[in-house]
Chain A
Amino acid sequence: DSGVTQTPKHLITATGQRVTLRCSPRSGDLSVYWYQQSLDQGLQFLIQYYNGEERAKGNILERFSAQQFPDLHSELNLSSLELGDSALYFCASSQTPGLGNTIYFGEGSWLTVV
Chain B
Amino acid sequence: GIQVEQSPPDLILQEGANSTLRCNFSDSVNNLQWFHQNPWGQLINLFYIPSGTKQNGRLSATTVATERYSLLYISSSQTTDSGVYFCAVPQGGSEKLVFGKGTKLTVNP
Contacts and interface: CB of A to CB of B under 8 A. Distances in A.
The secondary-structure label for the interface of chain A is: strand
B24 interface: no
Contacts of B73: none
Given A2-B45, A88-B41, A105-B45, A100 B35 contact: no
B41 A56 contact: no
A94 B101 contact: no
Interface residues of A, number: 27
Nearest to A99: B31
Interface stretch (A15-23, A40-48, A76-84): A40-48
A43 B43 CA distance: 11
Contacts of A35: 97
Interface of B: 30-31, 33, 35, 41-45, 48, 50, 86, 88, 90-91, 93-99, 101-102
Interface of A: 2, 31, 33, 35, 42-45, 48, 55-56, 58, 88, 90, 94, 97-105, 107-108, 110
Given A42-B102, A48-B95, A55-B95, 8 more contacts: A35-B97, A45-B96, A56-B94, A98-B95, A99-B31, A99-B95, A100-B50, A102-B45
